[in-house]
Amino acid sequence: MKPPVSNKLAAEINRRTFLARGGVGLGSLAFTSLLNQGVFASGSRRSPSGLGTLPHHTQKAKRVIFLCMAGGPSHLETFDYKPKLAAMDGQPMPDSFTKGQPIAQLQGQTLKCQGPLTQFKKYGQSGQVISDFLPWHAKMADDICVIRSMVTDQINHDPAHTFMNTGTAISGRPSMGSWVTYGLGSETEDLPGFVVLTSVGGRNPQPIASRQWSSGFLPSRFQGVEFSANGDPVHYVRNPAGVDSQQQRRLVDTVQQLDAHRNQAVRNREIATRIAAYEMAFRMQTSVPELMDVSNEPRHILDMYGAQPGDGSYASNCLLARRLVERGVRFVHLYHRGWDHHGGLVQYMNICCPLTDQPTWALIQDLKQRGMLDDTLVIWGGEFGRTPMSQVKGGKGRDHHIKGFSMWMAGGGVKGGISYGATDDLGYYAVENVVHIRDLHATMLHLLGLDHTRFTVPFQGLDMGLTGVEKARVVRDILA
Amino acid sequence: MNKCTLHDRRVLALTSIGLAITFVACGSHRLEAAPVDFNRDVRPILSNNCFQCHGPGASNRKAGLRLDIESGAKADMGEYRAVAPGRPNQSELISRITHSDPDERMPPADSGKALSSEEIAVLKRWIAEGAGWSRHWAYEPPKKHPIPEVKNSDWPLNWIDPFLLAKLESADLFPSPDADRVTLLRRLSFDLTGLPPTWEDVSSFLADEKPDAYEKRVDRLLASPAYGERMAMYWLDLVRFADTVGYHGDQDHSISPYRDWVIDAFNRNMRLDQFTRDQLAGDLLPDSSIDQKIASGYNRLLQTSHEGGVQPKEYLAIYAADRVRNISAVWMGATMGCCQCHDHKFDPYTMKDFYSMAAYFADIDEARHLTEGTNTLPTKREPEMKVLSRAERERIDALTSRIATWHADLSPKSPQDAARRPLRKRIRDAQRELETIQKNARLTMITVAIEPRVMRILPRGNWLDESGPIVQPEVPEFLRPLRRATGRANRQDLANWLTDPEHGCGLLTARVFANRFWYLTFGVGIVKVLDDFGGQGEAPVHPELLDNLAIEFVQSGWNIKHMMKLLVMSRAYRQSSVVSDALERVDPYNRLVARQSRFRLSAEMVRDTALAISGLLVRDIGGPSVKPYQPAGYYRHLNFPERRYTAHTDRRQWRRGVYMHWQRQFLHPMLKAFDAPSREECTAQRARSNTPLAVLVLLNDPTFVEAARVFAQNILCQPGSAEFRIDFAFQQAVSRRPDDWERQKLADLLTASREQYRSNTEGAVQLIHIGEAPPATDVEPFELAAWTTVARAILNLNETITRN
Q: Is residue B724 one of the residues assigned to a domain?
A: yes
- Distance between CA atoms of B710 and B775, rounded to whole angstroms? 8
A336 CB neighbours in chain B (<8 A) are none
Mean pLDDT across B359-379: 96
Q: Is residue A449 one of the residues assigned to a domain?
A: yes
B537 part of contact set with chain A, CB < 8 Å: yes
Q: Is residue B518 one of the residues assigned to a domain?
A: no
| B25 has pLDDT over 60 | no
- Chain A: residue nearest B597 by CA? A268
Under an 8 A CB cutoff, do B665 and A210 touch? yes
- φ, ψ of residue B110 in degrees (nearest 5): -75, -5
Decide which of A357 and A99 is more confident.
A357
Q: What is the pLDDT of residue A461?
A: 75
Residues 6+ apart with CB under 8 A from B202: B182, B185, B731, B735
Q: What is the pLDDT of residue B670?
A: 97
Q: What is the pLDDT of residue B486?
A: 85
Q: Is residue A433 one of the residues assigned to a domain?
A: yes
Q: What is the number of structural domains in chain A?
A: 1
- Distance between CA atoms of A207 and B661, rounded to whole angstroms? 19
User: Is the four-CA dihedral B641, B646, B651, B653 of positive or negative sign?
Assistant: positive
- Chain B: residue nearest A30 by CA? B17
Q: What is the pLDDT of residue B2?
A: 35
Interval B747-784: pLDDT, tens: 999 999 999 999 999 999 999 999 999 999 999 999 99
Under an 8 A CB cutoff, do A243 and B745 touch? no
Interval A275-294: pLDDT, tens: 989 999 999 999 999 999 99
Q: Which structural domain, as residue segments, surrounds residue B483?
A: 227-380+450-504
Label residue A293 left, alpha or beta by phi (over 0 means left) and psi (-120 to 50 means alpha): beta
Interval A329-387: pLDDT, tens: 999 999 999 999 999 999 999 999 999 999 999 999 999 999 999 999 999 999 999 99
> What is the band of B589 on the pLDDT scale with cuts at 50, 70, 90?
confident
| A429 has pLDDT over 70 | yes
| A68 has pLDDT over 50 | yes
> What is the band of A41 on the pLDDT scale with cuts at 50, 70, 90?
very low
- Indicate whether B275 and B399 sit together in one domain: no
| A175 has pLDDT over 90 | yes
| A29 has pLDDT over 50 | no
Under an 8 A CB cutoff, do B247 and A228 touch? no
| B342 has pLDDT over 60 | yes
> What are the DSSP calls for A161-207, one per residue?
HHHHHHSSSSTTPPPHHHHHHHHH--S-SSS-SEEEEEEEEEESPPP
- Chain A: residue nearest B587 by CA? A20
> CB–CB of B598/B577 below 8 Å?
yes
CB < 8 Å from A in window 637-696 of B:
637-640, 664-667, 669, 672-673, 675, 678, 680-681, 684-685, 687-696
SS3 label, residue A338: strand
Residue A83 sits in a domain whose CATH number is: 3.40.720
- Indicate whether B433 and B306 sit together in one domain: no
Under an 8 A CB cutoff, do A255 and B749 touch? no
B49 CB neighbours in chain A (<8 A) are none
How much is the ipTM here?
0.90
Q: Which structural domain, as residue segments, surrounds residue A145?
A: 46-236+298-478
B633 part of contact set with chain A, CB < 8 Å: yes
- Indicate whether B744 and B700 sit together in one domain: yes
Q: Is residue A249 one of the residues assigned to a domain?
A: no
Q: What is the pLDDT of residue B687?
A: 85
**B488 to chain A nearest CA, in Å?**
30
- Indicate whether B334 and B476 sit together in one domain: yes
Q: Is residue A364 one of the residues assigned to a domain?
A: yes
As a whole number of Å, the end-to-end CA separation of chain B is: 35
| A122 has pLDDT over 50 | yes
Q: What is the pLDDT of residue A299?
A: 96
Tell how strand A376-381 and strand A144-151 pair up. Answer: unpaired
Q: What is the number of structural domains in chain B?
A: 4
Q: Is residue B342 one of the residues assigned to a domain?
A: yes
Under an 8 A CB cutoff, do A280 and B692 touch? yes
Under an 8 A CB cutoff, do A22 and B598 touch? no
Residues 6+ apart with CB under 8 A from A18: A24, A26, A219, B687
B637 CB neighbours in chain A (<8 A) are 198, 207-210, 337
Mean pLDDT across A424-440: 97
Under an 8 A CB cutoff, do A35 and B690 touch? no
- Indicate whether B728 and B803 sit together in one domain: yes
Q: What is the pLDDT of residue A407?
A: 98
Under an 8 A CB cutoff, do B699 and A453 touch? no
> What is the band of B64 on the pLDDT scale with cuts at 50, 70, 90?
confident
Out of A23, A32, A159, name the one closest to residue B684 (CB): A23
- Indicate whether B246 and B331 sit together in one domain: yes
Q: What is the pLDDT of residue B416?
A: 66
CB < 8 Å from A in window 218-257 of B:
246-250
Interval B284-313: pLDDT, tens: 999 999 999 999 999 999 999 999 888 899
Output b/e per residue, B730-741; b: 16+ Cβ within 10 A.
bbbbbbbebeee
- Indicate whether B616 and B751 sit together in one domain: yes
Q: What is the pLDDT of residue B33?
A: 55
Q: Please report the number of interchain residue pairs, chain A to chain B, with beta-carbon separation below 8 angstroms.
A: 275
Q: Is residue A261 one of the residues assigned to a domain?
A: no
- Indicate whether B636 and B741 sit together in one domain: yes
- Chain B: residue nearest A156 by CA? B309
Q: How many residues does chain B have?
A: 804
Out of B246, B701, B799, name the one closest to residue A236 (CB): B701
**A192 to chain B nearest CA, in Å?**
9
- Chain A: residue nearest B22 by CA? A35
- The pTM score is 0.87
- Indicate whether B631 and B498 sit together in one domain: no
| B19 has pLDDT over 50 | no
Q: What percent of chain A shows pLDDT beyond 90?
A: 73
Decide which of A271 and A227 is more confident.
A227
- Indicate whether B407 and B466 sit together in one domain: no
Q: Which amino acid is at A54?
A: L
Mean pLDDT across A94-113: 90
| B722 has pLDDT over 80 | yes
Burial of B684 (0-12, 13-18, 19+ CB in 10 A): buried
> What is the band of B18 on the pLDDT scale with cuts at 50, 70, 90?
very low
- Indicate whether B356 and B435 sit together in one domain: no
- Indicate whether B306 and B412 sit together in one domain: no
Q: What is the pLDDT of residue B421?
A: 82
- Distance between CA atoms of A47 and A45, rounded to whole angstroms? 7
Q: Is residue A287 one of the residues assigned to a domain?
A: no
Mean pLDDT across B554-567: 98
